């Protein structure tokens, strides 16, 4: 089941040139990325998966969290850590 609001969020980030870092690899955001992240989270029994997020023109460290229920959060590292704490 797709969370359309979350998918729209991913697509908006992608239109702004956002990418996630997985080690040294840069991964473009897409519907396929979103579905694979949700699937990996569910398969591995984790609540959420977090990625370092890069947005052109923003120097502040950012993160993207994809939750097993399909929800997506993005923002500062502190914001994402606060989401995890809740």
Cβ neighbors of 55 (< 8 A, separation 6 or more) are 13, 16, 17, 18, 62
Task: Identify the domain containing residue 81 by its residue range.
Answer: 4-85
pLDDT at 1 over 60: no
pLDDT digit string, tens, across residues 23-67: 889 999 999 999 999 999 999 999 999 999 999 999 999 999 999
Q: Please tell me the pTM assigned to this model.
A: 0.88
Quote the number of domains for the chain: 1
What pLDDT does 13 receive? 95
Task: Tell me if 41 sits within 8 A of 13, measured CB to CB.
Answer: no
> CB neighbours of 33 closer than 8 A, spacing ≥ 6?
10, 20, 27
- pLDDT confidence of residue 15: 94
């Amino acid at each position: 089941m797709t969370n359309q609001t979350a998918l729209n969020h991913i697509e908006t980030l992608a239109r702004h040139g956002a990418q996630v870092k997985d080690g040294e690899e840069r991964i473009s955001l897409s519907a396929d990325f979103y579905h694979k992240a949700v699937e990996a989270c569910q398969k591995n029994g984790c609540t959420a998966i977090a990625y370092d997020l890069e947005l052109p023109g923003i120097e502040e460290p950012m993160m993207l969290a994809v939750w097993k229920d399909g929800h997506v959060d993005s923002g500062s590292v502190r914001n994402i850590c606060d989401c995890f704490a809740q």
